[in-house]
Structure 1
Amino acid sequence: MSLDPESRRRIAEPASADAVKEARLTPAEAVEHMRIRLPERGNRSLRRVLERANNDRQLKAWWHVSNVNAAVRLEINDHSWVHIQIVANIALKLLRELAKHGVEPSVVRDYGMESDDAEIVVVLAALTHCVGMSVHRRGHEDWSLFLAEPKLQALLDGVYDEPDRTVIVSEVLQAITSHRADGEPLSLEAGILRVADALDMAKGRSRIPFEKGQVSMHSLSAAAIDAVTIGDGESKPVRIEIVMNNSSGLFQVDGLLKAKLRGSGLEPHVEVIAHIDTADEKRLVPEYRLDV
């Protein structure tokens, strides 16, 4: 299907183009400029772990290979370090917003730990949740578990002593396996990762297939999401607001985000509002023909 000029102009944004361009770098070139930035807010352990992650070339190499597999070989959505940074920031924001409204993290409730420890869990889960994509898309959650466990032990060495280190590692691994489509989060932190991963939907993360002319409801709806914001809610403590330029974006919200939110444990605490922030919907394609 051919795209009209306005659609071609609008979807030609850096997010997906950069994902492919970065995947074409040599491994050494790719890892050199990777740096995850998060608002640490006085969490010294988080700062220490993040410094280690930012200096870990093996972890960064997994992010690079994951993106080569996703963006170049499979031509699906971005799995670069940029995706990792977005998910980590969203997860941390969700956790802090929930904590602000009195929602207790599971490591605090179940193990008597601190909120700072819950932040370590969600950030490490975000950093390692899809490293298994470096092996294969199919079953990548299981490959992520296999790769992440020894890496988590190394990143946490000297930050936590036993048995606390095993608790943190176990909670991260549970979050990784629970982010799959049929996952069953057993903790608030795992549910946060599951939802945060689904919320990386803005500004063209999934536009690679669209730009190649592979027009489907998935690619149409991905191109329709302009922004995602998180703040105080009205009917529930936290509001996730999704701004669309076209109503096809509702597929991302109702078809994909709902599936990740349902069963996450966040349902009592989070409201989702989606709206079109334009007087006239922007046309993504001149027409859509059902291929049967």
Structure 2
Amino acid sequence: MKSPLELGLERELYSMLDGKALEVAQLLAEDEEINALQEVANTVSIRRLGFNDHGPVHMRKVAVNAMKMFNILTEQGIVPNIVKEGSGAEEDSRIAVLLASWLHDVGMAIGRHDHEKSSVTLAAPIIDRILLTAFPNELMRRTVIKAVTLEGILGHMTHHPTTTLEAGIILIADGCDMEKGRSRIPLLVSQGSQVGDIHKYSSSAIESVSIEKGSEKPLKITVRMTASVGFFQVEEILMGKISTSPVKPYIELYAYVVGRDVKRYL
């Protein structure tokens, strides 16, 4: 059974979509295999490895982040690659971003090492199934969307270069899911310090991450935290993803500890 948080994130995502993109989102949310993989991914991440949430809430949160970014960028005239290259419509780009964000971490069900590659392996037949339902008579459309989706999944850890705006959005949307709720369960189940705890404790200091229209550049990201340990998340995780993303030229990035001066990174 889905948690209230999962259902709330799904409603928020649906409110940003229409047409075929909304249909695809609903197919993803109700797919039993995807939901099972996301649950197993979280068990491996939290129970076995002691890492942060990599399950259904995280993947839904990344999808919401990605759609916010996609909408802000396209509303201000930033053209995604599928459109720019004449391979499809903006709706196709949106669906590729949606699929990649929703499926990017399913490989955690196998393990952490090279999980982006495992995610590609597990997601590919699921993508085929979802797209065949949405576009039964449009082979080329399905092929283009799948290719860009897989780039987004494979590139989300920065180990593989991303060359499209669509894939670049996944990098940053993933990095922006660092609020304290993501580290709550690992902190509760942890039995003492171990490798990787800096990710949990730094994440627990992040009060909020806002994604909105910028004043100088199209996209503004602001990280609000309660302790300076949260700067680890910004500088070691989020900045690393932004630096390798094709979306970097369009971003203003700010971070601050409550009651202290705001630091601008980009």
TM-score norm. by structure 2 comes to 0.88
Alignment of 1:123-142 (within 5 A): 123-142=98-117
Change (3 A) 1:34 1:229: closer
Measured against aligned partners, the alpha-carbon deviations of 1:115-166 in whole angstroms (never above 9, x if no partner) come to 2221111110011111111111111111111111111011011423111101
Count residues in correspondence. 252
C-alpha deviation, 1:235, in angstroms: 2.6
C-alpha deviation, 1:42, in angstroms: 5.4
Give the residue type in structure 1 aligned to 2:252: E
3-state DSSP of counterpart to 2:33: helix
For the pair 1:166 / 2:166, whether they are aligned, the reply is no
Range moving further from structure 2, 145-154 or 37-46: 37-46
Measured against aligned partners, the alpha-carbon deviations of 1:42-65 in whole angstroms (never above 9, x if no partner) come to 521012112222221111000010
C-alpha deviation, 1:265, in angstroms: 0.8
3-state DSSP of counterpart to 2:163: coil
3-state DSSP of counterpart to 2:182: coil
C-alpha deviation, 1:220, in angstroms: 2.9
CA contact (8 A) 1:34 1:54 kept: no
Gaps of 5+ in 1: 1-28, 280-292
C-alpha deviation, 1:40, in angstroms: 4.5
C-alpha deviation, 1:256, in angstroms: 1.3
- Determine which of 217, 227, 235 is the counterpart of 1:236: 217
State the alpha-carbon separation in 2 of the partners of residues 154 and 176 from structure 1: 17
Aligned identity (percent) is: 34
CA contact (8 A) 1:177 1:183 kept: yes
CA contact (8 A) 1:40 1:46 kept: no
For the pair 1:198 / 2:175, whether they are aligned, the reply is yes
State the alpha-carbon separation in 1 of the partners of residues 6 and 232 from structure 2: 32
Alignment of 1:218-233 (within 5 A): 218-233=199-214
3-state DSSP of counterpart to 1:153: helix
CA contact (8 A) 1:201 1:222 kept: yes
3-state DSSP of counterpart to 1:278: coil
Larger helix percent: 2
State the alpha-carbon separation in 2 of the partners of residues 112 and 169 from structure 1: 12
Number of the residue aligned with 1:260: 241
C-alpha deviation, 1:277, in angstroms: 2.1
CA RMSD of aligned residues (A): 2.2
- Determine which of 60, 65, 68 is the counterpart of 2:40: 65
TM-score norm. by structure 1 comes to 0.80
Give the residue type in structure 1 aligned to 2:53: D
State the alpha-carbon separation in 1 of the partners of residues 124 and 14 from structure 2: 25
CA contact (8 A) 1:77 1:206 kept: yes
State the alpha-carbon separation in 2 of the partners of residues 89 and 82 from structure 1: 11
Number of the residue aligned with 2:226: 245
Number of the residue aligned with 1:5: none
Give the residue type in structure 1 aligned to 2:24: V
C-alpha deviation, 1:200, in angstroms: 0.4
Alignment of 1:81-100 (within 5 A): 81-100=56-75
Number of the residue aligned with 1:20: none
- Determine which of 155, 159, 165 is the counterpart of 2:130: 155
State the alpha-carbon separation in 2 of the partners of residues 250 and 73 from structure 1: 27
Gaps of 5+ in 2: 261-266
CA contact (8 A) 1:152 1:169 kept: yes
Change (3 A) 1:42 1:142: closer
